[in-house]
Amino acid sequence: MKRKLELTEYSTKDLVEAAALTASGLELKKVDRKGTVCYFIFNDKGACEKASNAYFFGNLRVNARSYYENMNKLKNIIFR
């Protein structure tokens, strides 16, 4: 049985966006694999949508070191 995405969760398959969200302090709940695609599932849908919009419009500010570290963590998860 497939698990449906909860209404309070935010999902993205964009690795760069997921690294930006985690670097901004949002909690990564889990990673779902659907074949060759990984979906990054976050708590707090409202905060994630706000941060995601800021990211896509170039207004999200995060610590560069934190972003780099989160990118590597996520790559390790999906390419293991």
Compute φ and ψ for 74, nearest 5 degrees.
-70, -40
Sheet holding 37-42, edge to edge: 10-12, 37-42, 28-34
Residue ranges per domain, the chain? 10-75
Q: How confident is the model at residue 1 (pLDDT cuts 50, 70, 90)?
A: very low
pLDDT of residue 42: 97
Residues of the chain above pLDDT 70, percent: 92
Residue reference for tokens 């905060």: 47
For residue 78, count CB atoms less than 10 angstroms from its CB and return exposed for 0-12, middle for 13-18, buried for 19 or more: middle
Q: How confident is the model at residue 80 (pLDDT cuts 50, 70, 90)?
A: confident
Q: How far apart are CA 11 and CA 32, in angstroms?
A: 9
pLDDT digits (tens, 9 = 90+) for 14-43: 999 999 999 999 999 999 999 989 999 999
Q: How far apart are CA 71 and CA 38, in angstroms?
A: 14
| Whole-prediction pTM | 0.86
